[in-house]
Structure 1
Amino acid sequence: MLAFVTLSIKDAAAATGSANAFIYVIGDALGGTFGSIILWLVTAAMWFCGLASITSFSRMMYAFSRDKGMPLSKHRAQI
């Protein structure tokens, strides 16, 4: 995706002068409404990726604590 965004830059000076170059390039390349939809989809994908990372970390931390594989595992296994 980053390669496509980089290749779709029409005016590099305007992109660097904007507040957020990524949003500017997507809006300039795809238009107002469709660009906003794509940006919201990217935001949702990043949210769910972060949520999955936090969830898997908490499950692994509990499993390692339960099996006495982490420091203070006796206290963490009870949480």
Structure 2
Amino acid sequence: MLNDFINLQGWHFPSNILLLLLALGINIQNIQSNPSSHDTMIWKSDIHRVFSTNNAYETLRTKEDSAWWWKYVWRQAIHP
């Protein structure tokens, strides 16, 4: 859990994880920590109140605007 990486002074990550986060452009020192609070997992369910990995992926993925011509390319790929 995330609270494994928090002590009374704040964040306490192993150096290899800190280097990985920095390589990804994440400076963990800029994120405030509260060692006295508890972790909570929050899952977003679908309209039927069911969690699925597909729903989590759809919620988290970056969605771009579709090109107007995508249906024609897709149709040609399915029915050449």
TM-score by length of 1: 0.27
Relative to its length, the structure with more strand (as a share) is 2
TM-score, length-scaled by structure 2? 0.27
- The structure whose residues are more often helix, as a share, is 1
